[in-house]
Amino acid sequence: MASNRHLGRIIALQTLYEQDFRRDSDDATFDLAEVLKRNITRYEATIDDTSFIEELVAGVDTEQEQLDTVLQPLAPEWPISQIARMDRVILRMGAYELLHSQNVPPKVVINEAVELAKAFGSTNSSKFVNGVLGTLLRQQQGDDAPTEDATPKATDTPDNASDATADDNDDAEVRPVKEKDDA
* Residue boundaries of the structural domains of the chain: 2-156
Please state the length of the chain. 183
- One digit per residue, pLDDT tens: the chain, 183 residues? 445 899 999 999 999 999 999 999 999 999 999 999 999 999 989 998 899 999 999 999 999 999 999 999 999 999 999 999 999 999 999 999 999 998 899 999 999 999 999 999 999 999 999 999 999 999 999 875 444 444 444 444 444 433 333 333 333 333 443 444 444
Domain 2-156, CATH homologous superfamily name and number: NusB-like (1.10.940.10)
Answer whether 152's CB lies under 8 Å from 131's CB: yes
